[in-house]
Amino acid sequence: MKKKKIYYVSGVMFCKIPLTENVMKFFYGISFLLALFFGVSEIFPAEKKPNIIFIMSDDHTAEAISCYSELAPHLKGVVQTPNIDRIAEEGMRFDRVFCNFSLCSPSRASIMTGQYSHRTGVRMLNGRILESCNWVSEELQKAGYKTALIGKWHLQNVPKGFDHYCIVKEQGDYFDPLFITPEGEEKCKGYATDVYTDKALQWLESVRETSSEKDAPFCLMLHYKATHYPFDYPPRYENLYEGKEIPEPENMYEDRQQSSPLLKARTPSIVSLYYPLHKDDKSPLMKKPENDSPDAITKVGYQHIMHKYLRCAKCVDENVGRVLAYLDENGLTKNTVIIYTSDQGYWLGQHGLYDKRIILDESIRMPFVVRYPKEIPSGSVCGELISNVDFAQTLMDFAGIKEKDVPENMQGYSFRSLMRGEVPARWREGLFYCYTSQPAHWGVRTKQYTLACFPDTEKVELYDNFKDPRQNVNVAENPEYAEVLKEMKAVLARVMEEIEIDKTRLPGGVNQYENDCGEEAPL
């Protein structure tokens, strides 16, 4: 068989000459000299910036995603999220991503600005980001990105830095959502998660079809309302898990008043809040408890929550699959960074709780899976500590924005290097957390320990996350942890100094609603 000849092709010339070693050296030398004369970018144009799709659901806890099955072994085989799993299988799963304030609006404000809640001014639902804050969307626009925001917003600000936005008021509705756009209001028929995805794919198609913008990278932020309470789901999932008893977490019947009177006992529980609101529900049916005991009520309430919640989550996964299919069908998979996350975690019966708010893991852990075939090894896992304030700078890093050009008021760190398996010599030793409503508390989460502090008392709670991963036992008063407690308080002080929050701005402090920006923060 005749051996094929390989020919050298340059950015400035095509020479039909057999590519021998000497010829290769010659042309590399010519290219290098031309690069010096004309500038490197003229000879070797920069690779196209990656597209970015940032999908964020609401209250979708990692325990309800099957690639995180180790976090909730009782749900293994019950929860099936193959499309979200696909992102992890073809990219990276992060196991220690946490928010700094487990409530929708504050977390979203931190994600948009790369700043902690005491800087954004958002420490309540439907708050307003302070004008002094920079937005990641604006920075991406400056970097040449076409940008869009679709879905839940839950902030008072008009979205900035977006070429297109289509958002719902406050929480929005699960059925027939009403959108706010720059052109006015628009009512759409259908189930919210489906409709949000329809809108997202329509925008992607419009960007691709606009000839003048075909080469511009895009950043789409698709924010689902699901799986937020009351976990409404589309009729097509009415029979999903029908008649199936969902396994319970092993710590569901914990005596919270005994084990955690300052934290768990003051958090919304199935008995105190969920069951009274839904005891008369017919679809799905709230079963009657065997008796009036808290355990009996928790048992039936848990089953009701799970049947609704998992049906709602299934539709999220289905629509993530639609986005992945669009990328595949249009040749966009290879050059698109796609992220799936949630604005915080959620209690699904652990300690008898539902909702979120407190510093413990199921409440603050954010699922985070990312795929970028050009850079991220498939099937990889990262266990480093990440905060939601790091998201903005990570997206900016992918957009080619140099660290020196990041606005000075952004407080996060890009964790793009972690996606390549490169751990910086110095990375976070602990993550700060603060919740200003009830139960008011603050603290720090390191890899091994969680420390929670409270206003008006010297009492604290301390959990050993390695020995007690379900955080069942407060060891703050255990003499064996005296040195650990001392060190955790020192870590908290160091982290607070780093992010520039002093004691007066903590819950109960005289300046808890003040900020460093010279603006009045909303109460």
pLDDT tier at 516, thresholds 50, 70, 90: very low
* Residue 255 Cα distances to 261, 295, 350, 467, 485, angstroms: 9, 10, 12, 20, 24
pLDDT, residue 139, reads 98
Q: Could you read off the pLDDT of 61-86 as tens digits, one per residue? A: 999 999 999 999 999 999 999 999 99
- Residue 364 token pair: 């603050």
b (16+ CB within 10 A) / e for 253-277: bbebeebbebbbbbbbbbbbebbee
Q: Are 67 and 85 in contact (CB under 8 A)?
A: yes
pLDDT, residue 514, reads 60
pLDDT tier at 394, thresholds 50, 70, 90: very high
Query: CA 308 to CA 297: how far, in whole Å?
Result: 17
Query: CA 322 to CA 315: how far, in whole Å?
Result: 11
Residue 331 has pLDDT above 70, yes or no: yes
Q: Is-cis flag, bond preceding 439, omega within 30?
A: yes
Handedness of CA 486, 487, 493, 496 (dihedral sign): negative
Q: Is-cis flag, bond preceding 230, omega within 30?
A: yes
pLDDT, residue 46, reads 55
pLDDT, residue 351, reads 98
Residue 13 has pLDDT above 80, yes or no: no
Q: Could you read off the pLDDT of 350-393 as tens digits, one per residue? A: 999 999 999 999 999 999 999 999 999 999 999 999 999 999 99
b (16+ CB within 10 A) / e for 441-454: bbbbbbeebbbbbb
Residue 215 has pLDDT above 80, yes or no: no
Query: CA 222 to CA 276: how far, in whole Å?
Result: 33
Residue 7 has pLDDT above 90, yes or no: no
Residue 27 has pLDDT above 70, yes or no: no
Identity of the residue numbered 392: A
Residue 311 has pLDDT above 60, yes or no: yes
Handedness of CA 299, 467, 464, 429 (dihedral sign): negative
Q: What is the pTM of this model?
A: 0.89
Q: Could you read off the pLDDT of 186-198 as tens digits, one per residue? A: 999 999 999 999 9
Residue 381's SS3 state is strand
Residues written for the chain: 523
Query: CA 55 to CA 61: how far, in whole Å?
Result: 14
DSSP H/E element including 136: helix 136-142
pLDDT, residue 17, reads 41
pLDDT, residue 33, reads 46
Strand segments, DSSP code E, in 113-223 are 146-152, 164-168, 178-181, 184-187, 218-223
pLDDT tier at 214, thresholds 50, 70, 90: low
Please write down the long-range contacts of 296-299, taking CB distance under 8 Å and 24 or more positions apart: 297/270, 297/271, 298/252, 298/253, 298/269, 298/270, 298/271, 298/349, 298/352, 299/248
Q: Are 364 and 96 in contact (CB under 8 A)?
A: no
Mean pLDDT of the chain: 90
Q: Could you read off the pLDDT of 101-150 as tens digits, one per residue? A: 999 999 999 999 999 999 999 998 889 999 999 999 999 999 999 999 99
What are the residues facing 353 on neighbouring strands? 269
pLDDT, residue 410, reads 97
pLDDT tier at 513, thresholds 50, 70, 90: low
Residue 211 has pLDDT above 80, yes or no: no
Q: Are 403 and 321 in contact (CB under 8 A)?
A: no
248 Cβ contact partners less than 8 Å away, ≥ 6 residues apart: 74, 299, 302, 349
Averaged over 157-168, what is the pLDDT? 96
Q: Could you read off the pLDDT of 243-265 as tens digits, one per residue? A: 999 999 999 999 999 999 999 99
Residue 460 has pLDDT above 70, yes or no: yes
Nearest to 351 by CA among 248, 231, 478, 439: 248
* Lowest mean pLDDT, pick from 190-204, 211-225, 413-427: 211-225
Q: Are 405 and 127 in contact (CB under 8 A)?
A: no
- The listed range with the strongest mean pLDDT (12-16, 25-29, 38-42, 204-208) is 204-208
- Residue 333 token pair: 């998979």
pLDDT tier at 279, thresholds 50, 70, 90: very high
Residue 35 has pLDDT above 70, yes or no: no
Report percent pLDDT > 90 for the chain.
83
Residue 488 has pLDDT above 70, yes or no: yes
